[in-house]
Structure 1
Amino acid sequence: MAEQKKNAGFTRFLNTIERIGNKLPDPFMLFVSLAVLVILLSGFISLFDVTFNQPGSDEQTSIKNLLSAEGLQFMVTSVIENFVGFTPLGIVLTMMLGVGLADKVGLLETLIKNTILRAPKALITYAVVFTGILGNLAADAAFVIVPPLAAMVFYNVGRHPLAGLAAGFAGVGAGFTANIIVANTDAVLSGISTEVMQTIEGAPTVTPVDNWYFMLVSTLVLTAAGGLITEKIVEPRLGRYDGGLTKTFDETTALEKRGLRNAVIAAVVYIALLILALVWPDSSLRNDQGGMIPSPFISGIVPVIMLFFITIGVTYGVTLKKIDNSRSIAKYMGEAMKDMSSFIVLIFAVSQFISYFEWTNIGSWLAVTGASFLDSVDLTGITVVVLFILLTALLNLFVYSGSAQWALEAPVFLKMFYILDYHPAFIQAAYRVADSSTNIVTPMNPYFVIVLAFMKEYDNKAGLGTLMALMLPYSLIFLTVWIILFLVFVMLGVPFGPGIGVHV
C-alpha cells in the first residue's frame, strides 16, 4: 500500500508538470517570447557593467546589450544566417531526404513488419533504449532517426507509441555520451582536457580511451534502467493508446518481401563498399594517422547515412515499381519535405533565440558564475565531485553543447581537482555523467522541439508539458543511477579506462 501511494504521488506530480507545461504558449511563440526576454535581460544586466573572465583567459568579457546600436545591427543582419546556418536544420533536412524517401516508398513499414515486430516482445523496450544510446555514433542524426522509429515499433505491437518515442529519445539524449566503443565524443572531450592540462607541468595527458571502461558499463546499466522506467513508470501512466491514428499494417505481400530482400542486398553491398573505402591504403576517409576518431568519415556521417537510406529506398521502390524514373525519386523526397514544413517554421524562432543567447554571453556568464561558486567552496573528498556532477547537470539546462560546456568548465575544475590529486580523466568521466542526463528536459536542446513534432503525429493535443512529463523520470533516474554507478567504480577501485583510477 505504501508503494502504491508513493507511485500515485509521483504520478500526480507528473500530471501537475504536464498541466503547467501545457499552459505554455505554442512552441513557436514560446521561443519568440524567450528571444524577447533575452533582449530585455541583456539590456538590464548591461546596466550593471557585469564582467567575467572566460576560463583560460585573462581577458574580461562583458554581457552584450542587444538593445544597443551594436545589438540592433546584429539582430537585423544575422536573421538569415542564424536560420540557414542553424546546424540541426541542415542535419534534419539532409537526413529526411534519405529517411523520408525510404518511408514514402514503404520500405520502413515493410522492414518493421518483417524484423522488429518479430523480435521477442519482452526485449523490444531494451532494444530501443540500447539502439538510442549507440546512436551517438551517428551524432545528432540519431535524434531524427531513433525516436520516431521507436514510436512506430511500439504502435505496431499494440503498445503506446509515445512510450516508444520516450524510450528512444531517452536513449539518444540522456545516454548520449555513453557507448560500447570509443566514439567521437571521447575524442572531443579528451582533446579539450589535454589542452587544459598542458598548461601544468608534469600533468597527465587525457586520451580518447581513458573513460572507455566506465562508458561501456554505463551503456548496459542505462539500457536496463531505461527499459524499466519505460515499462514500470512511463507506459502505465500513459495507459492504452486511443489516439486518432488509424494506420494499420497489412500482411507483407510476396512483392514486398522481394523488395525487402533486394533492399537488404543493396544495404550489404553499400556497407561492403564503405568498409572497403575505409580500409583502403591511405584512405581519404581516415585521418592523417590512419585512425577513425576523429576522421572525415565521422565528420561526414550524416551524408553517409543519407546515401545509405537513398540506396535502399530506391532499390525497394524500383522493385515494387513505385520508382520508374528519376522524377519519382524527387517526388517522394518532396513529399517527405512537406511533412517537415511546421518544423522549419519552428526552427526559425528557435535559431534566433539561441543565437541571441550566445551573442549576449549570458549563457557563458551563467556557466562561469556557477563554476566559480563551486571553486570557492572548501570541500574535499568524493562529496565535492558529486556536487560538481549536480552543478554540471544544472548548467546543462543552459549550455546544451557538451563540448562547449566542457570548454567552459574544464579550465576551472580540471585544475582545481588536479591540485586535490584527482586524475583529469576521472573528473572528465564525472562531467560526462551529468552532461547527458538533462538533455531531454531542456528547451535549449534544439531536438527537443523535433521530438515534440514527432509526438504530435500520435497525439495532436500534446504540448511541451506532455513531453517534459514523459522525459522527467528518465532524466532524474538516469542521473541518479549514473551517479551510483560512478561511486561503485570509485569504491571498488575499478579503472575508468586503461590505467585510469581516481587519483593521479
Structure 2
Amino acid sequence: MSVASRALNAVERIGNKLPDPVFLFLWLILGLIVLSMVGAGLGWSAINPVTGEQLTAESLISPANLERLIIGMPRTLADFPPLGIVITIIYGASVAERTGMFATAIRGALLNAPKSILTPVIVITGMVSHHASDASYVVVIPLAAVIFAAAGRHPLAGLAAGFAAVSGGYAGNLFPGASDALILGITEPAAQLIDPSYSVNIAGNWFFIVGVVFVFTPIVWFLTDRVIEPRLGKWTPSAGVAAPATSEKQLLTVDEKRGLKFAGLALLGMIALWTLITLLPNSPFVDPAAEPEQRFNPLYRSLVAFFAATFFITGGAYGVGSRSIQSHHDLVRMMREGIEQLAPYIVLAFFAAHFVAMFNWSGLGPILAVNAAAGFQTLSLPAPLLLICVVLISCFFDLFIGSASAKWSALAPVVVPMFMLLGISPEMTTAAYRMGDSVTNIATPLMSYFPLILTFAQRWDPKFGLGSLMATMLPYAGAFLIAGLIMVAGWVAFDLPLGPGVGVHYELPAHIVASPAP
C-alpha cells in the first residue's frame, strides 16, 4: 500500500471516530465550561484596545451565567444571527427550488452549451448553482456526466468537473446567497466581541467570491481537458451500461421555457424596483450622513430581503409559466417544505448558538484574541502569511467536519477578533476561511455527498471505486489549494476590495494605541 493510500486511510479512520457535529458542540461546551472556571480562578484578563474595557474571564457556572443559560435559553437561540437570515432566504429559495426553476435553469445552461466551451460552462453553472442548495449536487454533477457523454467525451470527466465546481468551488459565485448570509452572519457577533459597533453585510465577500469563479474556472478547465480526461482514456460503455444520448426528458419542454421567460421578466422587475427605491429622495437604502464609503450600507444590508423576495417572486413566476404552481396553496406548501428541510440545521444551530453565546459570556474569546494578537505582533508576520494560516487550518478541519457553519462557529470567536487587532478586517478573515473550506471537500470520503458522487460515477463505470474517485479529484484539490493560497495572499498584498465598501484592513479608532495590551 502506498504512502498516499495509508494517509487517506488514516484520515478516514480518524474522521469516522469524530462525533456528529451536534455532539461535537456539546463536547466543546463542556470543555468551555471547564476552561472558563480555570480562567476565572487564575484571573485571566486583557484590555480591549478598541474600547479600553478591562476584559476578565468569567466562570460559566457563576449565578449570573447560569441564569443567562437556563432562563435565557429561548432568547439565545433566537438571537443566533445566521438562523434568522437563513430562514428568511429559505422562504424564497424553497419556492424557486420546488417549482423547478433552479433545476431547469441549470439544465438549460448546460444543454445549450457549445461543445468547445462545455467544461467552463459546467464549472460556472456549478458555482452559481450553490443558490440551489443541495439541488446543485443532484442536478449539476450527474447532468454534467450525461452531457459529456452526449458530446462524445468521457462522462466521468464531466462528473469530475461538475463535482470540482459544485463542492471544490464552494467559495465561488457570481452573486451572494444563503451561504454568504450564513457564514457572514457568524462573523458579525465574533467581530463585535472587539468592536460592538461593527456590522457585516451579506455583500461583504461579493468581489472575492466572483474572483474565485474567475480563478478556479480556468483551473478546472485545464485539468479536466488536459489531465483528467486523457488519464481516463477513451470511454467505452461497460457491460450493462448503455451509451447515453440527451433524451427528450432532459430537453426543456415548452412549459419550462415559458416558465424561464416569466422568471427572467420577474428578475428584471425586482432589479428595477430595488434600483428605483435606492434612487428615490430620502431612500431608506442610503445614509447621506455617513462617510462616502459607508453610505450604501443600508442597501447592502437589504440584500437578505432582496434575495429572499427575488427567489420567491421569480420562483413563483416560473411556477405559473411552467404550470408547476396551480394555486397559492402550492406556494405555502413549498415554503413549508423548505423549512422542513432546514430541520438538521436548526438542531445544530441550537447547540452552536449556545456555544457562541457562552464563549461570549466567559470573556475568553477577546482575551485569547488580544493576547494572541500581541504574540503575533512580536513575530512581525506579514498579513498575507497570517491569512494563509487561516486557509490551512480551515483545510485541515474540513477533512473531518463537513459543516462549514459548524467549523466557523467554533473558529470565528477567536480568529476574527485576533485578526482585527492585527489590522485585518472580519470579512477578509472570513474569505480566507471560506477558501480553505472549499479545497478539501472533494478529496475526503468523509464529505457527506462523497458516497452519492461515487454512486453517480458507478452508473458509468461499475468498477469505479472510492480510490478511483479520490485519485480523480486530488489534482483539483491540490491546484485549488495552491491557487487559493496565492489568491488570498495576493488579495491582501494588493489591498483589493472584498465587497462594496469593504476592504482588507481594519483600522483601530484613532485614539487607540495600535499594539494590543496583553
**Shared fold (TM-score, shorter chain, > 0.5):** yes
Q: 1:124, CA displacement in angstroms?
A: 3.6
Q: What is the aligned counterpart of 1:154 among 141, 157, 181? A: 141
The equivalent of 1:480 in structure 2 is 485
| 1:157 counterpart letter in structure 2 | A
Report the secondary structure of 1:52's partner residue. strand
How far apart are 1:76 and its partner, in Å?
0.8
Change (3 A) 1:157 1:84: same
Q: CA deviation at 1:95?
A: 1.2
Q: Quote the Cα distance in structure 1 between the aligned partners of 2:206 and 2:318.
A: 39
Q: Which of 22, 27, 32 is residue 21 of structure 2 equivalent to?
A: 27
Q: Which residue is equivalent to 2:266?
A: 266
Partner residue, 1:437: 432
Using the alignment, how far apart are the partners of 2:118 and 2:390 within structure 1?
37
Q: Which AA in structure 1 matches 2:320? A: V
**Offset at residue 35 of structure 1 (A):** 1.5
Q: CA deviation at 1:301?
A: 0.6
Give 3-state SS (helix, strand or coil) of 2:309's partner: helix
Q: Map 1:396-411 onto structure 2 (within 5 A).
A: 408-411=418-421
Q: Secondary structure at the match of 1:61?
A: strand
Aligned to 2:400: none
Letter in 2 for 1:268: L
Mark the runs of 5 or more structure 1 residues left unpaired by the alignment.
133-142, 196-210, 241-247, 415-427, 443-450
* Map of 1:257 onto structure 2: 257
CA 1:474 to 1:336, structure 2 compared with 1: closer, same or farther past 3 Å?
farther
Q: 1:51 aligns with which of 35, 45, 48?
A: 45
Displacement after TM superposition at 1:273 (Å): 2.6
Counterpart residue type for residue 333 of structure 1:
M
The aligned residue for residue 349 of structure 2 is 347
Indicate if the aligned counterparts of 1:150 and 1:167 stay in contact, CA closer than 8 A. Answer: no
Find the aligned partners of 1:45 and 1:477 in 2 and give their Cα distance: 39
Pair 1:87 & 2:88 matched: no
Q: 1:311-366: CA deviations, max 9, x gaps? A: 11111222333333322211121122222222212211221112112221222222
| Residues in 1 aligned to 2:454 and 2:339: alpha-carbon distance in whole angstroms | 21
What amino acid does structure 2 have at the position aligned with 1:329? L
> Displacement of 1:59 after TM fit?
3.4
Cα 1:331–1:478 change in 2 (3 A) is same
Q: Does the 8 A contact of 1:51 with 1:63 survive in 2?
A: yes
How has the CA–CA distance of structure 1 residues 384 and 64 changed in structure 2, closer, same or farther, with 3 Å as cutoff?
A: same
Secondary structure, counterpart of 1:367 in structure 2: helix
Q: 2:307 is matched with which residue?
A: 305
What is the identity, as a one-letter code, of the residue corresponding to 2:482? Answer: I
Deviation at 1:123, TM superposition (A): 0.4
Given the two structures, how large is their TM-score scaled by the length of structure 1? Answer: 0.65
Residues 1:122 and 2:119 are matched in the alignment: yes
The CA deviation at 1:217 is: 7.2
Identify the residue that residue 90 of structure 2 maps to in structure 1. Answer: 96
Q: What amino acid does structure 1 have at the position aligned with 2:86?
A: V
> 1:371 Cα deviation (Å)?
0.8
Deviations 1:472-496 (A, max 9, x none): 8588535531366369x6xxxx786
Counterpart code for 2:314: I
Number of the residue aligned with 1:359: 361
Flag structure 2 segments of 5+ consecutive residues without an equivalent: 146-158, 196-204, 236-246, 395-406, 438-445, 456-465, 498-502, 506-518
Cα displacement (A) at 1:402? 7.6
Q: Deviations over 1:125-165 (max 9, x none)?
A: 65258759xxxxxxxxxx76567536632232121565443
Give the alignment's TM-score, normalised by structure 2. Answer: 0.63
Shift of 1:221: 4.0
Q: Across the two proteins, how many residue pairs are aligned to each other?
A: 410
Deviates further, 297-306 or 155-164: 155-164
Alignment of 1:186-335 (within 5 A): 220-221=214-215, 224=218, 250-288=250-288, 294-335=296-337
| Distance in structure 1 (CA, Å) of the matches to 2:434 and 2:102 | 28
- Whether 1:105 aligns to 2:125 is no
* 1:358-387 deviation line (CA, Å, top 9, x unaligned): 22122222222211112234x5xxx64555
Aligned to 1:298, the other structure's residue is in SS state helix
Shift of 1:285: 2.1
* Secondary structure, counterpart of 1:170 in structure 2: coil
2: CA distance, partners of 1:373 / 1:309: 46
SS class of match (1:171): coil
SS of alignment partner, residue 262 of structure 1: helix
Asked whether the 8 Å contact 2:262–2:318 carries over to 1, the reply is yes
Q: Is the contact between residue 100 and residue 332 of structure 1 (CA under 8 Å) also seen in structure 2? A: yes
Q: Show the 5 A alignment for 1:378-393.
A: 384-390=382-388
Could you tell me how far 1:228 is from its partner in structure 2? 6.8
Looking at structure 1, the residues matched to 25 and 221 of structure 2 have their Cα atoms a distance apart, in angstroms, of: 32
Shift of 1:215: 10
Q: Which residue, out of 375, 378, 392, partners 2:377?
A: 375
Distance 2:429 2:216 in 1: 13
What is the SS of the residue equivalent to 1:157? helix
Deviations 1:148-203 (A, max 9, x none): 53663223212156544323423269x99xx9xxxx99xx9xx99xx9xxxxxxxx
The CA distance in 2 between the partners of 1:456 and 1:348, in whole Å, is 28
Q: Is the 8 A contact 2:127 2:213 kept in 1?
A: yes
Cα offsets for 1:433-468 (capped at 9, x unmatched): 6552234667xxxxxxxx9777798689x9xxx9xx
Distance 2:101 2:213 in 1: 30
Q: CA deviation at 1:118?
A: 3.0
In structure 1, C-alpha distance between the alignment counterparts of 2:33 and 2:91, rounded to whole Å = 36
Query: Conserved in 2, the CA contact under 8 Å of 1:392 and 1:435?
Result: no
CA 1:322–1:69 in 2, change beyond 3 Å: closer, same or farther?
Answer: same
Q: State the Cα RMSD in Å.
A: 5.0
Q: Is the 8 A contact 2:22 2:348 kept in 1?
A: yes
SS of 2:60's equivalent in the other structure is coil
Assess if the C-alpha contact under 8 Å between 2:124 and 2:213 holds in 1. Answer: no
1:11 Cα deviation from its structure 2 partner: 6.5
